Structure 1
Amino acid sequence: MNRTLFKQEWLKGDLYPHVFAYYFKQWSDYTMAFHSHDAIEIMYVISGACGIEFEATVKAAACEMTLKKGDFVILDANVPHRLTVDERGPCRMLNVEFDFRERPTAFPSMRQLALEDEFVARLITEPSSYLFLRDPSEVYQVLKSLVLELDSRGKRINMKAELLFAQLILAVARLHNETGTQGINPAELYVKQAIEYIHHNYDRDIQVKDVASAVSLHPGYLHRVFRAQLGKTLTGYLTELRMEKAKMLLRETDVAIADICDYVGVGSRQYFHAMFKKYTNQTPIAFRNAVDTQILDSRGLKYE
């Protein structure tokens, strides 16, 4: 039977997360002996760099890789491995060791998550005993929240910890799907990071150079890869996002029309009105009035 990242029994019964250990640790000039755990382990590099080696087994060849800030490895139970940190500087890590067991709970089991999400199913059946991934930041934020919740509950899994664990599995599964088995496509990663930055900052006066700086690229290169990946310019994407947010605010809130330009990062009211009309063929006032009319009609009401 070929080895996979997780146990295939997890797809047959209803099993739930059980955490054995979790800890932050800063390593300096250290070489660990080869060892293994009875649990699955996530090793996440918070800062610095380290090496990780996997010992050769009957089913897998030896492997060695370098992990830098934002990199992490997830490995199956009983996989011989060791950590090395050279004299160039410390490496700070967050480690979590866990598996899945039967217990009464209303929380979705690993099997149910896999049935609902194809990426989770693909992660469980990944034909390898370990997986190396580079995290834009989402996985680390969930990991931090999870260990803080476990600390506050004395390692006991409660509903919030279960939900965070599900979020962790989903985040890793999507990252695994985006990365693919052939490694990260740099252009796709840069575009993904640029889109995340845009969605977090569209309400501010941002330009291409600001997005490029956030993802450490030259503005011209980011413009080219963005257009090649999405078939539209970065500026065009930002404008579409702003106009869709404006439509949502006009449709779902009572924010004053005169203020909406500030909510979507367009400093000039006149420019916002011109952009909105070009995008929707309606002025903001006409758009909101049409929405109000539709709501009244759907309720069987009429204007007096």
Structure 2
Amino acid sequence: MLPNLLCQIPVEQHPQLIFKRTFQLNGSGIFYASSNPDHFPEHSVPHIKISIPLGKTSFQAIWQTGAGQRKKQHVREGDICVLPANLPHEVVLESKQEMIGINFDPVFIEQIADELTGKKVEIIAQWAAQDPLIQQLGFDLRREFQQSPRGLYVESVIQVLANHLIRHYCTSQIEMVDAVSKLSHQKLQKTIDYIHARLEQDITLSELADVAQMSQYRFARAFKQSIGIPPHQYLLSQRIERAKKLLTLTQLQIADISYQLGFASQSHFAATFRRFTKVTPKAYRNVVASF
């Protein structure tokens, strides 16, 4: 099992950053922040870092190579940055920007790498990489943080990002040794029962992995292999199924149903319901009532 590293990975400590949201997870810390044009003096952090600029951006990263050569890289809209732990660097922001930052404890990455490859890995610096997956996940996280971040969803994104780092940002070619297998019937049923008993709660991936007595990484992959969707999508789908029953069989206000099922707000509930059913909760209730 991965160690509980909750709250051991701090978000960035820079007075220039205006934090909109921070989120602490096992082995990682995430922040959604903005900043005006400014200079971040040379610094280093003890964790592996992904920086995802959002929207129009322009800044310069300055660092020194192992051979003592001073280098610069211009980072523009659409670029992402991947930094290994303890890399001294400075940043000059040339425009106002928003960003998502994800900090990984090296131990967290090492343990997932061990499950994936059976070997130690070394992350390499990429100052202006074009990576559509990381870019899209950055925008997804911003949308999540603009509402109320769900632990299970954010943890799932962290697992995807950690896997992606190991596969694509290491110093040597990685040969995967892990094989994805389904959960046993008993473990799958225990997990599903646990979810159904707590639909209104902000269930975490670590909770579900503990129920199945597996690491978070292996559990997330095995769960998806078993039912075809990741845990956070299954939780949402079951909340919507429960909402359908409440809309059909009770006269509860839509706001009350939203609250009962653990949604951050009525608007968040309505948007999620519509994404799954193509209609709003009110329209669904009206259609059902007409039969």
Higher relative contact order (CA 8 A, sep 6+): 1
Structure richer in helix, relative to its length: 1
Bigger Rg, structure 1 or 2: 1
Q: Same fold (TM over 0.5)?
A: no
Bin the TM-score by the shorter chain. Answer: 0.3 to 0.5
